[in-house]
A and B are shown apart, each in its own frame.
Chain A
Amino acid sequence: MHQLTLAEIARGLADKSFSSEELTQSLLGRIKQLDPQLNSFISVTEERALDQARAADARRAAGETGPLLGAPIAHKDLFCTQGVRTSCGSKMLDNFTAPYDATVVSKLADAGMVTLGKTNMDEFAMGSANESSHYGPVKNPWNLEHVPGGSSGGSAAAVAARLLPVATGTDTGGSIRQPAALTNLTGLKPTYGRVSRWGMIAYASSLDQGGPMARTAEDCALLLQGMAGFDTKDSTCIDEPVPDYSANLNAPLQGLRIGLPKEYFGAGLDSRIADLVHASVKELEQLGAVVKQISLPNMQHAIPAYYVIAPAEASSNLSRFDGVRFGYRCEDPKDLTDLYKRSRGEGFGVEVQRRIMVGAYALSAGYYDAYYLQAQKIRRLIKNDFMAAFEDVDLILGPTTPNPAWKLGAKSNDPVSAYLEDVYTITANLAGLPGLSMPAGFVDGLPVGVQLLAPYFQEGRLLNVAHRYQQVTDWHTRAPTGF
């Protein structure tokens, strides 16, 4: 049963091949059995899941239908879930039980989804390897000595290992697409403002966006359908109608104009990955797509700009974790300053502290113009590059990451080399564009992803292209040995 995709589960539940309770029981058993190897879950909410499964079965018995009714999911542990610990992968929130549901959580629960638990992640979503979690690193099911990517590494590992069919992730600089690429999943970062951020604990507010992680584009379409939509509780959410993402999955690709940015194929890219990307382009050409080279000249500035803007926003977003109202508080503070310093010094890990320091520095008097304003200018230039490119092409294609998954600990002492792994994904966040990563082959037994970028609100197009590609390839169907 664990091999089933979300679409297959929907059909199975609809034709009563199995109940949601049976499915939930089965997957909970599998998590219990296999997750100790992966560490992909921070919390498994067994009783809650069974209650939700029985409720979903009752709703179906009462005549309700829907592709998500009774289907299992897990949420990245930064989506607030009422009555459940929501830790953000941090010691700071180890004792924090969310008093409310994130909009994504409540929408999917209303649709009848069964929450199996909360998945591991880099602390406060800061990282590309899922090594900065207070709950320990997550292992890549394709090779347990390697990282699964991050920051949504728990969701990626769990879905890749067939512990469940789909999970939510969030993407601030690539945190859905990069772990999806490194674990052979399909992951979609929607247009900024497509999915509500209410209840999604912020890392960098202007870049964060929640999205689906699954094994197929078809499943991503189903899950995104349940997540997307306007929310009055999020001022940056955009009031744009949500199309039927499954309706056009099979639309022909004849005449589809795909742009290959020459900057994506330069130094730093593993040549074996370059080859796999080109092979995927060939497949798409077979399907009728037309390929041309384009240029995104400001891409080289993306990482510096990102590592000013994201930490700047984070330094402010994380100020509320002060030991006063919730979260970790140090023992016996001797005064207010001591309470702040030690609660934050002891509650936050090294990478989080590093980014808070960088961000506070970038915003401080005398440096603001040189760093923050300059980074915002670069951000506009990058957006303009994309707007110009989308005059000539419908989609942009390239590698999701420059390298396959690296060994645990390999980049722990070199944060900059880890930051460089985000080079292809970061621009979509800076521009607010939707991006998708899909499986495109293997290097040394480790998965490789191809990234597709589209104009605003063209998630449907991304899913359509990925789905058609998955109809003629089988990379996405391959499962890691032992799972």
Chain B
Amino acid sequence: MQWEVVIGLEIHTQLATQSKIFSGSATTFGSEPNTQASLIDLGMPGVLPVLNQEAVRMACMFGLAIEAEIGPRNVFARKNYFYPDLPKGYQISQMDLPIVGKGHLDIALEDGTIKRVGITRAHLEEDAGKSLHEDFNGASGIDLNRAGTPLLEIVSEPDMRSAKEAVAYVKAIHALVRYLGICDGNMAEGSLRCDCNVSIRPKGQVEFGTRCEIKNVNSFRFIERAINSEIQRQIELIEDGGRVIQETRLYDPNKDETRSMRSKEEANDYRYFPDPDLLPVVIESSLLESIRASLPELPPQKVERFQSQYGLSAYDANVLAASREQADYFEAVVRIGGDAKLAANWVMVELGSLLNKLGVEIDQAPVSAEQLGGMLLRIRDNTISGKIAKTVFEAMAAGEGDADSIIDSKGLKQVTDSGAIETMLDEMLAANAEQVEQYRAADEAKRGKMFGFFVGQAMKASKGKANPGQVNQLLKAKLEG
């Protein structure tokens, strides 16, 4: 049997507001427990919520970016359930009238094609607190610092057909919210969390199969692995004559498997109803227009511009535009260094592997865009070779200053004086007289390989500073002669 996989995602993004969605408390991550919990966050008797307009503005930014309908009037509703880290016994969310309606997002697949993923809706809600189960002698501790942090829950259509597509979609959402500056995207701190709805159906069948929801997966790698293991489980289950039961599951990364958390029958009846403490949110078209005017350039436009303006390949443009910080870094390097393709190469390859090795993001790169651009200038005017540049780059990464001062202090300036190079070559050839004779006796095919030996010796003798082009040319003449 050929199976088709159907995946829909619900992504919770914490909005990067200074204060909470319904109180004035700060939203900083990692503070001492309950130091960012006000009377409102504690759900004290008599307190009332007041909507943070900044959260509304951010949700509108997202809606405009995915070309969604933004309801002129959206309504907060209460989702009622009991849990110790839910102080009021209900979560303020949106149900029938969310702030962001139908939209879509285009994602680039590995084979180079573009796929349009439908977004059903996105709604505002408040985050819950955290239950801490360690260090309390069997009891649980409650930390309400996170309670009331604004969330935008982004619900996709069941449009994805593989774990890889799902990850590409999450990455695109991740990039988008960071471009918009509405979420820091820090998945390790829970700023962006994902629920994955997975089902399978025989290829060609129109109706969807029964789905399972994998809750709270919070890294790109785990999303892919969780979905794949769930697909495998469902296929094996059905092929063994069983059937999938609609339920909520949890992914265990250690065992690389999902396990049942609760069935549909055990699910809460949330008894949604409009929150009488909050008025409907009316969004004036003038507000939308001013938000639209303030939107930054978004990934699709940027990819296009990088290709047309800088002549980059689609692949390079996509890689560089994947994050706003990286795109900005690249453009800063181009502004100084001048050569876009050279800049793209250095940012993607050398800087990329350096960041990887250090395990840091580009905004913490030890080499600034100004430094890298300055170094590219020295490559372009032949002060240093590409090979020496790697030495300079390493020195810059080690904090030894900018390219010019490193070239200077380490004496890395390329030797381009033909006389000096010739003298050096003569000395080198004299020291390797035996090899010179072998070279001259060899046929054309062998000479090619042996030539590389002499180049290597020459560069070694010049400590890498001799202009490689000149070395090649002069060496050839001397050996042939």
Contact = CB atoms under 8 A, between A and B. Distances in A.
Contacts of A234: 48, 50
A205 B277 contact: yes
Of the candidates A200, A232, A235, A327, the one having the most CB atoms from chain B within 10 angstroms of its own CB is: A235
Interface core residue of B47, B48, B88, B279 (most chain A CB under 10 Å): B48
Most B-side CB within 10 Å, residue of A86, A201, A325? A325
Contacts of A221: none
Given A99-B39, A324-B84, A325-B42, A198 B271 contact: no
B49 interface: yes
A100 interface: yes
A230 to B, nearest CB: 13
Interface string A191-224: 0000001111110111000000000000000000
Contacts of A98: 45-46
Contact of A235 (B51, B78, B142, B271): B51
Given A236-B279, A363-B271, A364-B269, A322 B82 contact: yes
A368 B273 contact: yes
B238 interface: no
B481 interface: no
Nearest to B268: A365
Contacts of B43: 320, 325
A198 B80 contact: no
Nearest to B279: A235
Interface residues of A, number: 46
Contacts of B50: 232-235
A305 to B, nearest CB: 14
Contact of A316 (B44, B90, B269): B90
A235 B51 CA distance: 8
B48 A316 contact: no
Interface string A220-250: 0000000000001111100000000000000
A365 B269 contact: yes
A177 to B, nearest CB: 21
B265 to A, nearest CB: 13
A86 B45 contact: yes
Contacts of B78: 316
Contact of A372 (B48, B80, B89, B273): B273
A243 B80 CA distance: 40
Contacts of B269: 364-365
Contact of B45 (A88, A206, A233, A363): A88
B278 interface: yes
A336 interface: yes
B271 A99 contact: no
A93 to B, nearest CB: 7
Interface string A93-106: 10010111010000
Interface string B63-100: 00000000000000010101010011110000000000
B89 A316 contact: yes
A326 B272 CA distance: 25
B276 interface: yes
Contacts of B45: 80, 86, 88, 93, 96, 98, 201, 320-321, 326-327
Nearest to B79: A316
A355 B381 CA distance: 83
A319 B43 CA distance: 10
A199 B48 CA distance: 8
A232 B49 CA distance: 10
A265 to B, nearest CB: 32
A313 interface: yes
> Is chain A's interface secondary structure helix, strand, loop, or mixed overall?
loop
A234 B44 CA distance: 15
Contacts of B51: 235
A320 B46 contact: no
A340 interface: yes
A433 to B, nearest CB: 17
A152 B48 CA distance: 22
A327 B42 CA distance: 13
Interface in B391-439: none
Given A316-B273, A363-B273, A198 B46 contact: yes
Contacts of B271: 315-316, 360, 363-365, 368
B88 A200 contact: no
Contacts of B84: 322, 324, 336
Interface in A350-389: 360, 363-365, 368, 372
Contact of B80 (A199, A206, A363): A363
A198 B82 contact: no
A322 B45 CA distance: 12
A204 B49 CA distance: 15
Contacts of A96: 45
A56 interface: no
A312 interface: yes
Given A80-B46, A200-B46, A319-B88, A313 B39 contact: no
A102 B39 CA distance: 12
A225 B27 CA distance: 38
A235 B21 CA distance: 13
Contacts of A368: 271-273
A232 B45 CA distance: 18
B478 to A, nearest CB: 86
A316 B39 CA distance: 18
Contacts of A320: 43, 45, 87-89
A180 B271 CA distance: 36
A235 B278 contact: yes
Interface of A: 78-80, 86, 88, 93, 96, 98-100, 102, 197-202, 204-206, 232-236, 312-313, 315-316, 318-322, 324-327, 336, 340, 360, 363-365, 368, 372
Given A86-B46, A234-B48, A319-B89, 15 more contacts: A79-B46, A93-B45, A96-B45, A98-B46, A201-B45, A205-B277, A232-B50, A235-B279, A236-B279, A320-B45, A320-B87, A325-B42, A360-B80, A363-B80, A368-B272
Q: Which 5 A-B pairs have the closest CB atoms?
A: A319-B89, A206-B276, A363-B271, A205-B276, A199-B46
28 contacts: A80-B46, A93-B45, A96-B45, A98-B45, A98-B46, A197-B48, A200-B46, A201-B46, A202-B46, A234-B48, A235-B49, A236-B278, A236-B279, A312-B273, A313-B273, A315-B80, A316-B90, A319-B82, A320-B43, A320-B87, A320-B89, A324-B84, A325-B87, A326-B45, A327-B45, A340-B82, A365-B269, A368-B273
